């Protein structure tokens, strides 16, 4: 018997996922979002609060992001002007004295952090059990304004996250070996993983013992930080969100200390984007092997796969 060939054997994981960049959503703005294999409406209230709701009106099914309008702290349906608040409850129906209790939309918990808007998705609608970390160098006066890149890839998001735990592909796909992490630490109830790689780095101002710190927060958020050269730092924040079970959106945010912005910032960003582009054809054409044949170099992948199970409801 041959193994079944499925490209997308994994469901949508539970977690915090970016649905937009903060700066792309002004007060009063309404945006159509497809994420978690659902149609969603994202809007910012007049007071500035971002809100995510299921998109289809419980009345006759209009798409709230297509012609829907922010009215104060609520969203008004374009079809018959029912209004919904941030909890998804209908607060007003024109010409009707009472609102049926079932007039409500699924709402998603939202946090705005690190210049992004995150929504909590859980297949069983359970509340969040971990927090999006605050990356303190984002927006820090000693660090450059962030550079941003968005990349959509036709693959399940777990394949993107797995890349980070796959040292063997670095040399082959990217032409640069990755120094092995000396150490993996787990925190926040095991939802976060931190890997530190030590290496000597030669720079125009001397040779330093540096560290590359890679952190993963849930299935979809990660940072790559370089440390060890006094006064100099680079930070990459990566968010991966499930558009559906076979499409992912990556959002990359890069910031570096201002003292290297002119000499290093541009090359760093270009290098990163090129690096990801090397992975894309592999990702978009691979299948997901639930039980891959593994060898000695795949130890971290096996660990990573075990760790990911906590993010699935099945």
- Interface ranges with ligand FES (CB under 6 A): 57, 59-62, 77, 79-80, 82
Q: How far is CA 275 from CA 172, 201, 250, 258, in A?
A: 12, 20, 13, 23
Look at strands 15-21 and 234-244 and give their pairing. unpaired
Q: How far is CA 309 from CA 40, 94, 107, 155, in A?
A: 26, 47, 25, 18
On whether the CB atoms of residues 77 and 61 are closer than 8 A, the answer is no
Min CB(32)–ligand FES separation in Å: 15
Dihedral pair phi/psi, residue 225, rounded to 5°: -125, 135
Complex with ligand FES: residue 78 or 228, whichever CB lies closer: 78
**Partner from ligand FES, Fe ion, none contacting 163, C-beta within 5 to 8 A by type:** Fe ion
Min CB(50)–Fe ion separation in Å: 31
- The span from the CA of 33 to the CA of 53, in Å, is 10
Min CB(218)–ligand FES separation in Å: 34
Complex with Fe ion: residue 163 or 255, whichever CB lies closer: 163
Complex with ligand FES: residue 60 or 302, whichever CB lies closer: 60
Min CB(51)–ligand FES separation in Å: 16
Complex with ligand FES: residue 79 or 184, whichever CB lies closer: 79
Min CB(89)–ligand FES separation in Å: 14
On whether the CB atoms of residues 73 and 42 are closer than 8 A, the answer is no
Min CB(104)–ligand FES separation in Å: 12
Residue 147 pairs with which residues in a beta bridge?
A: 254
The DSSP output letter for 143 is: B
Residue 60, sorted as left (phi over 0), alpha (psi -120 to 50) or beta, turns out to be alpha
Min CB(82)–ligand FES separation in Å: 4
Binding site for Fe ion (CB under 5 A): 163, 279
Enter the tokens of residue 207: 């040779």
Complex with ligand FES: residue 90 or 269, whichever CB lies closer: 90
Complex with Fe ion: residue 158 or 163, whichever CB lies closer: 163
Smallest CA-to-CA distance from 261 within 153, 143, 173, 177 is with 143
- The span from the CA of 133 to the CA of 269, in Å, is 22
Complex with ligand FES: residue 60 or 123, whichever CB lies closer: 60
């Amino acid at each position: 018997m041959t193994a079944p060939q499925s490209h997308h054997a994994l469901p949508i994981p539970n977690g915090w996922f970016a649905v937009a960049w903060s700066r792309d959503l002004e007060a009063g703005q309404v945006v159509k979002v497809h994420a978690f294999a659902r149609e969603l409406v994202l809007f910012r209230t007049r007071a500035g609060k971002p809100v995510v709701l299921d998109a289809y009106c419980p009345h006759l099914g209009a798409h709230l992001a297509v012609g829907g309008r922010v009215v104060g702290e609520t969203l008004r349906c374009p079809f018959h002007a029912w209004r919904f608040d941030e909890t998804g409850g209908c607060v007003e129906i024109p010409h009707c004295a009472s609102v049926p209790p079932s007039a409500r939309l699924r709402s998603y918990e939202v946090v705005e952090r690190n210049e992004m808007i995150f929504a909590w998705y859980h297949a069983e609608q359970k509340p969040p059990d971990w927090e999006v970390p605050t990356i303190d160098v984002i927006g820090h006066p000693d660090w450059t304004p962030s550079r941003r890149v968005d990349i959509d890839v036709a693959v399940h998001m777990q394949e993107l996250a797995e890349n980070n735990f796959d040292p063997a592909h670095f040399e082959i796909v990217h032409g640069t070996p990755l120094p092995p992490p000396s150490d993996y630490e787990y925190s926040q109830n095991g939802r976060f993983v931190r890997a530190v790689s030590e290496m000597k780095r030669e720079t125009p101002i001397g040779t330093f013992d540096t560290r590359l710190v890679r952190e993963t927060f849930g299935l979809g958020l990660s940072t790559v930080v370089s440390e060890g050269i006094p006064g100099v730092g680079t930070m990459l924040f990566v968010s991966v969100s499930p558009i559906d079970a076979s499409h992912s959106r990556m959002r990359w945010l890069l910031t570096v200390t201002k003292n290297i912005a002119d000499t290093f910032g541009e090359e760093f960003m270009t290098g990163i984007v090129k690096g990801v582009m090397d992975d894309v054809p592999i990702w978009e054409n691979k299948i997901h092997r639930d039980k891959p044949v593994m060898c000695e170099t795949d130890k971290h992948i096996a660990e990573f796969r075990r760790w990911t199970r906590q993010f699935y409801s099945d």
